[in-house]
Amino acid sequence: MIDLLSPHSAVETADRLERFLQTKEMKIFARIDQAAEATAVGLNLRPTILLLFGNPTAGTPLMDKYPSLALDLPLKALVWESEGKVYVSYSSPEYLRDRHHLPMTPFASLPDLLATALR
C-alpha cells in the first residue's frame, strides 16, 4: 500500500485525480463518496472517496492473459482524511505483480502519475 499526502482537501484531491487521469486517457469507472453513503444511513465517516479508473485498451489484454488480475482492475485510488490531513492510498505496482505472479510489473508509472496529479 502506498499513501501519498495531498496538499488539498479530500474533494479537491479526488477532483484533481479524476481530471488528471482523464487527460491521460483513463476512464473513471466510478467515484464513490463513502462518507456521503454513510450519512445517507445516519452514520458518520471522515471524508473518504474511492475512485475506480483505468484504460480498457491496456487492462483488457492483461486480464485476458492473467485472469486473476481482474480482482484488482480497474485500478483504485482511495482519498481519505485523518486528523486534518488528506491522503491518497493505492496498491503498489509491485504488490500487483507479486499478488498475481506476473513476470513483469504492470502499471509501473502509477506512483508518478498519481503524485503528478496532486501538484
pLDDT tens column, 58-85 = 999 999 999 999 999 999 999 999 999 9
Domain borders along the chain are: 2-117
Q: Where are the beta strands (DSSP E) in 7-119?
A: 27-33, 48-54, 75-82, 85-90
And the C-alpha cell for 16? 484533481
Amino acid 67: pLDDT:
97
Q: What class, spelled out in words, does domain 2-117 have in CATH?
A: alpha beta
- pTM of the predicted model as reported, rounded to 2 decimal places: 0.94
| 115 vs 113: CA distance, rounded Å | 6
Q: How many C-beta atoms surround the C-beta of residue 117 within 10 A? A: 20
The mean pLDDT of the chain is: 97
> Which of 11, 23, 29, 20 has the alpha carbon at shortest distance from 76?
29
DSSP state of 38: H
